[in-house]
């Protein structure tokens, strides 16, 4: 039960219709990511019809995958509340579920249409991590994805505004704003990845995406360790375990590609098939 909140999670209410800030932040993040990705795709003169098909399928599949991932690891609750499985507006989607589901679809789509998988991933990576950073503010409005009990003095020493501090008073205790830590990490990653993408003489095709995987998983590992609402598999925090695997896998792949494929195309890659 959430109490002592000064910010209403419901942005608009018309009769029985409720539009939550959580949904607004998520939708805004997705739309901005799509717009920026399409701008970059046009700059690279890619086939827009294929890109629109890719977007129209990948976004809903990513959202569905994010919800399924969350429900699976919270099945002890949802098995007794089956009607709440579709209540995505109340929160409860897992970023890693979205990345795994959406990424798998994009991989299969590119293979089917003979598109450059690395090129598509490199275009998407900076905007995806930007969307993740924006989306975390939906958690803030729902008072979720928070950390351990702390003091108001600690939050004030972080130079946080009073409205943010007050929102972190949950069930009578002030909490670590882990949503904020991850949001700042993600938005910093967005800037770094954009710099990488435009440093076209330094990085090979696919390395912007692999850098995204490493950056996000590294930060998520530590932020996840601070959270009190982690998805668990026994005594293991699922997101921490997955972060370790992804970080090691991405780093190993970069090293392997640099060593075994020295003639691999550098940025910018060739155009997609028209």
List the binding residues. 136
User: Under 8 Å CB-to-CB from 211, ≥6 apart: which residues?
Assistant: 125, 192, 193, 196, 203, 250
User: Under 8 Å CB-to-CB from 227, ≥6 apart: which residues?
Assistant: 145, 146, 147, 178
Joined tokens for residue 207: 């390395």
Distance CA 138, CA 120 (A): 27
Give the pairing of strands 173-175 and 149-150.
Answer: antiparallel
Q: Find the helix or strand (DSSP H, E) in which 226 lies.
A: helix 207-226
Distance CA 175, CA 10 (A): 22
Separation of CA 90 from chain center? 18
Q: Is 264:204 a contact under the CB 8 Å cutoff? A: yes
> What's the burial of 57, exposed, middle or buried (CB within 10 Å: 0-12/13-18/19+)?
middle
Joined tokens for residue 223: 């932020």
């Amino acid at each position: 039960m959430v109490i002592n909140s000064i910010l209403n999670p419901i942005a608009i209410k018309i009769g029985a219709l409720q539009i939550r800030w959580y949904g607004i932040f998520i939708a805004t993040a997705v739309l901005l990511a799509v717009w920026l990705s399409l701008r970059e795709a046009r700059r690279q003169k890619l086939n827009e019809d294929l890109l629109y098909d890719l977007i129209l399928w990948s976004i809903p599949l990513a959202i569905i995958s994010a919800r399924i991932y969350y429900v699976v690891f919270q099945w002890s609750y949802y098995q007794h509340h089956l009607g709440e499985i579709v209540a995505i507006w109340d929160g409860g989607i897992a970023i890693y579920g979205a990345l795994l589901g959406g990424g798998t679809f994009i991989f299969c789509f590119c293979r089917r249409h003979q598109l450059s998988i690395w090129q598509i991933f490199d275009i998407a990576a900076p905007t995806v991590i930007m969307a993740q950073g924006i989306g975390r503010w939906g958690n803030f409005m729902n008072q979720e994805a928070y950390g351990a009990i702390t003091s108001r003095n600690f939050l004030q020493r972080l130079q946080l505004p009073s409205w943010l501090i007050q929102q972190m008073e949950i069930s009578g205790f002030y909490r670590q704003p882990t949503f904020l830590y991850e949001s700042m990490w993600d938005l910093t990653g967005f800037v770094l990845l954009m710099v990488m993408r435009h440093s076209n003489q330094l990085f090979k095709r696919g390395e912007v995406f692999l850098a995204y995987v490493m950056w996000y998983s590294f930060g998520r590992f530590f932020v996840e360790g601070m959270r009190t609402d982690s998805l668990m598999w026994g005594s293991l925090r699922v997101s921490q375990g997955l972060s370790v695997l992804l970080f090691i896998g991405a780093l190993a792949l970069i090293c392997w590609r640099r060593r075994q494929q020295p003639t691999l195309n550098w940025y910018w890659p060739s155009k997609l098939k028209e």
